[in-house]
Structure 1
Amino acid sequence: MLMLSIGSAVLYAVAIVMLACLHGQDRGVHWASDPVSNHALGAWRGVFNMYGYIGTAGALLLLAQFASDRSTQLPAVVPIAMVVLVVSRVLVLWVPTDQPGESTRSGKLHLVFAIASFAAAYTAIANATAALAHGAPAWLAAGLASVRWLAMVSLTGVVVTMLPKLKRAFGAFERAFLFSTMLWFLLASVRMGIAARIA
């Protein structure tokens, strides 16, 4: 279990760094207005896909820990949400997004899978935070709770900025949500590692 915790923590740390590097290097995508998936439309597609698969692998390892854990008393919905998260993230990578200005069946499916992944990620976070914070070191419990609020606020922003008049800020809220959820999952991996050592 400890090796799974280390693995998922490392994978999420790498995914965070890769996404940050994408924003710095891919000048064709605007961080505040463009969807993150637009990184897959140009020369940085390979890096974007690698980032996506690394984050998905981290989620899969964390799912294995949540499913087998008996010490933190996680609600049953948490591993279910993680399954949905893993599957929907893979589908987001497999189904291409639309080119700017287009509206295709593939693009609509991509959006549905992206929405499913966001909903699943927050469902897992919202339902697992209290259980993971209980008995955790104070700094870790505070981190889990604080990042959960960041994820909630940024997800609300994502929903609101899907309205046509507010779309210019969509990318900023989407990136805030992605960074906050990856950070939460990294902290959750650390928490599971602590539980594994105690056990």
Structure 2
Amino acid sequence: MSPTIRSGRLLVSALAAAAVTGGVVASSTAGAAPVTPRAGAVTEIRAELRAGWVKTTDAPTGITVDLPGKATVEKHTERVLGHDVTSRGYLVQTGEGFVVFAVTDVPDSYDIRLEAELQAFVEGMKQETGASLISTGAEMTTVEGRPALDARIATDEGERMTGSTLLVDGDRYLVQAVTVGPEANEKALDKTHREIVDSMRIP
């Protein structure tokens, strides 16, 4: 079985767990807490767009996306298939929940399988944070001409949370967007997710 990109899974699951656990991630979870961008952080956040939305660029890849606020940034590196693999996660907390946008560099020898990455994300939520998550209604689509998997996500126990995740095969990188929040905010979360997906530009 092909390995999954653990770095992207760990980063995104840990940050997204902040929504599932009410914004609190255990300090003992390595690399989980979002931090404010440091000097020299690999991100470029441009002038605000409509009503607080900010165009955000992942500098190493040139990927851009509109996010509903100024993002905090988390960078994580680990070994995958003998290579150092780096993920950059961009987190925004909104009135409806949380948004996470992540880009993970992929070794040339790595075969991206979006269904496996989605499953790893769901399983990683439980393994790394204790938050139980299920995915439903996954659909294959394209973003900027690249294969993508768009899925609904929800908690299956405890406080009811809902949202969406999109995974994109960018050849040299795996791109993921996660929008999650309380079930009562489902319509607003869906709208935010669609705007993020529509704004994504991959060189």
Coarse TM-score class (shorter-chain normalised): under 0.3
Normalised to the residue count of structure 2, the TM-score between the two structures is 0.27
Q: If each structure's helix is expressed as a fraction of its own residues, which one has the higher value?
A: 1
Q: More relative contact order in 1 or in 2 (CA 8 Å, sep 6+)? A: 1
Give the TM-score of the pair, scaled to structure 1.
Answer: 0.27
Q: Which has the larger radius of gyration?
A: 1
